[in-house]
Amino acid sequence: MNIDNPNHADDAGNDGTLYVLQARPPAIVALWPDGTHEVVLANLTRTPDGIKVDARNELIYWTNMGTGIHLVDGDPVSGPLPPNDGTIECAKLDGSGHRVLVASGEAGTPKEIVLDKEGGHLYWCDREGMRVMRARLDGGDVTVLVRTGEFPRDTADATRHCVGIVLDKANGHLYWTQKGAPDAGQGRIFRAGIEMPAGAQPHDRPDVECLLANLPEPIDLDIDHRDGMLYWTDRGDDSHDGNTLNRARITAAGLTGHEVLARELKEGIGVSLDARGRRAFVTDLGGNVRELDIDTKETSHFTSVAHLGPLTGIDFAAT
Q: Hey, what domains does the chain have and what are their CATH numbers?
A: 6-318 (2.120.10.30)
Asked which of 28-32, 74-78, 84-88, 194-198 is least confident by mean pLDDT, the reply is 74-78
**Percentages of the chain per state (helix, strand, coil), in multiples of 5:** 5, 55, 40
Instruction: Tell me the per-residue pLDDT of 250-308, one tens digit each, with 9 for 90 and over.
Output: 999 999 999 999 999 999 999 999 999 999 999 999 999 999 999 998 877 666 654 57
Predicted model pTM: 0.92
Which range is least confidently modeled, 6-20, 149-163, 224-238? 6-20
Interacting residues of 116 by C-beta distance below 8 A, sequence separation 6+: 122, 123, 167, 169
Residue 309 pLDDT? 83
The pLDDT, as a whole number, for residue 68 is 67
235 in Cβ contact with 243 (< 8 Å): yes
pLDDT of residue 103: 95
Mean pLDDT of 209-229: 98
Percentage above 90 pLDDT, the chain: 78
Q: Residue 232, Cα to own-chain centre: how many angstroms?
A: 9
Q: Strand (E) positions, 86-204? A: 87-92, 99-102, 110-116, 121-126, 131-136, 143-147, 162-168, 173-178, 187-193
pLDDT (tens digit per residue) in 163-217? 999 999 999 999 999 999 999 999 999 999 999 999 999 999 999 999 999 999 9
User: With bands split at pLDDT 50, 70 and 90, how would you rate the model's confidence at 5?
Assistant: very low
Model confidence at 12: pLDDT above 50 = no
pLDDT(145) > 90: yes
